Amino acid sequence: LYEIVLGGSHVEIDSIEYVQLQGWVRTNRSSGKIGFIELNDGTYFRNAQLVYSSDLKDFNEVEKYTTGSALTVMGKFVYTPQGKQPFEIQVKEIELEGACDHDYPLQKKRHSFEFLREIPHLRPRANSFYAIFRLRSVLSMAIHEFFQNQGFVYVHTPIITGNDAEGAGETFTVTTREDANYEEDFFGKHASLTVSGQLHVEAFAMAFRDVYTFGPTFRAENSNTTRHASEFWMIEPEIAFADLEDDMDLIEDMVKYCINYCLENAPEEMKFFERMIDKECIARITKVRDSEFKRMTYSEAIELLKQADVKFENDQIEWGMDLQSEHERYLCEKVVNGPVFLTDYPKDIKAFYMRLNDDGKTVAACDLLVPGVGELVGGSQREERYEVLAARMQEMGMESESLQWYMDLRRYGGCKHAGFGLGFDRMLMYLSGMQNIRDVEPFARTPKNLVF
Ligand code: 4AD
Ligand code: MG
């Protein structure tokens, strides 16, 4: 009894003779007497091999089916263990569902990612994208399972918001008007697209204890890098009665769970990435899954950077500086050679809501840096002390009126709590070895890239 995957489900091939398949032509070649079509039905990487002979009444028509055409086929299933393909379908009936014009851009050859970025409506059919978008789906499931298995409540935080959660002024304004007046464009109020669901999800943590949000976020930063997008997805858990250590434990568990889940649930895709994108990828993430993440303070990191025997573009290493990606990558790639948590950053380079440490200079923050990607996660313990938070906001020149609700969470039964944000798209880059965030998003939005 042999088992194979067909049409997305496992079937025992002894029990089938005739099958119906629907899918798209990858290649079609004919000798005039016998022809072969590689058909992809969307459920699996590999193509089904169709064999058709001149007995078929539409033979001359079928010979002309071009790459990309959509077909429905009925044929005899033949197991071919000696052949290149594990099985073939000997075509009895074939119907052209949709022809494909000759200018179809996806011919059978390797296309550059740059070229494919210009045709986001067609590129899911190209192997690399077929693999990455399936992995995207599998990874989403991994995230939900990880949190749901532990009783976390999934909260849908708003996309349109009156708060700039990060206080970094990188918001897109929502407007209903042609003659934009940014202060009151949302029916008389100022509103923007969310940069983070954190503040809202904190409110829910004070009711459900352990919560997470997972949705799209928007940043109006004009960064043209391979790791920044204007629209990206973020996973943001928030845990009550928890501190920074608990937060880092949760991050580490989550990353390991996701790695394991993808290795188990997307084995073909992972093998594809190993073959075509990053030869180390499976070995690399397997090692990460099985080892403990390093933790070091920002201050320790600064010392290491000062002693580094490489030349940084920004060579003015001093305590208080914001680390550039070259510094982050040096730390995780050269010093640690694996994921590393950096903790206790200077308060001046971090957001207002992070809990002030006893030294009065640093905050209980953590960033998880990983080789190849840099910052994968940013998290912190939150400032739960009303007065300290108020003072911090004032020090940063923030107007507190629109955030009074957030501060009230500290007056109405506040407690120590922590959370983090995982960049979903960056996690996909990390798992697959893909080098550009534009190539892990279905329709990427970056400052210079808005196709459709
Ligand atoms: O470090 P960030 O800005 O943290 C927050 O937004 C917090 N409110 C999270 C929290 O504590 N709930 O962003 C978190 C992560 C980053 O580590 C990075 O992986 C990703 O989001 N990220 C981006 N991904 C793609 N494009 C961008 N422009 C990104 N900005 C941040
Ligand atoms: Mg960050």
267 three-state secondary structure: helix
What is the length of the chain? 452
Low-confidence ranges of the chain (pLDDT < 70): 1-16, 179-182
pLDDT in tens, 384-427: 999 999 999 999 998 888 899 999 999 999 999 999 999 999 99
The per-residue pLDDT for 189 is: 84
- Locate the domains of the chain by residue range: 3-98, 116-450
pLDDT digits (tens, 9 = 90+) for 254-266: 999 999 999 999 9
Choosing from 164, 232, 434 the residue with most ligand 1 atoms within 8 A of its CB, the one to mutate for a pocket test is 232
- Site to substitute for ligand 1 among 234, 246, 340, most atoms within 8 A of C-beta: 234
Which residues have any ligand 1 atom within 6 Å of their CB?
A: 165-166, 196, 198, 219, 228-229, 232, 234, 236, 375-380, 419-421, 423, 425-426, 437
Query: Residue 226: is it exposed, middle or buried by C-beta count within 10 angstroms (0-12/13-18/19+)?
Result: middle
Q: Quickly count: other Cβ atoms within 10 Å of residue 252's Cβ.
A: 18
**What's the confidence (pLDDT) of residue 2?**
42
Percent above pLDDT 90 for the chain: 81
Residue nearest to atom 14 of ligand 1 (CA): 421
Among 391, 378, 362, 358, which residue's Cα sits nearest to residue 419?
378
- What is the number of the ligand closest to the CA of 165? 1
**pLDDT one-digit tens code per residue, 97-124:** 999 999 999 988 889 999 999 999 999 9
pLDDT for position 26? 95
Alpha-carbon distance of 131 to 133, in angstroms, equals 6
CATH no. of 116-450:
3.30.930.10
Q: Which ipTM value was assigned to this complex?
A: 0.99
- Which pLDDT score is estimated for 313? 92
Distance CA 152, CA 237 (A): 8
> What SS3 state is found at 378?
strand
Helix (H) or strand (E) holding 253: helix 244-265
Atom of ligand 1 nearest to the CA of 221: 28
Ligand number, closest to the Cα atom of 420? 1
Q: Is the dihedral of CA 32, 36, 40, 41 positive or negative?
A: positive
CATH code of domain 3-98: 2.40.50.140
Contact between 19 and 77 under an 8 Å Cβ cutoff? The reply is: yes
Residue nearest ligand 1's atom 19 by CA: 423
Q: What is the pLDDT of residue 288?
A: 95
Helices 244-265 and 424-432, axial angle in degrees (round to 10): 50
CA of 71 to the centre of ligand 1 (A): 43
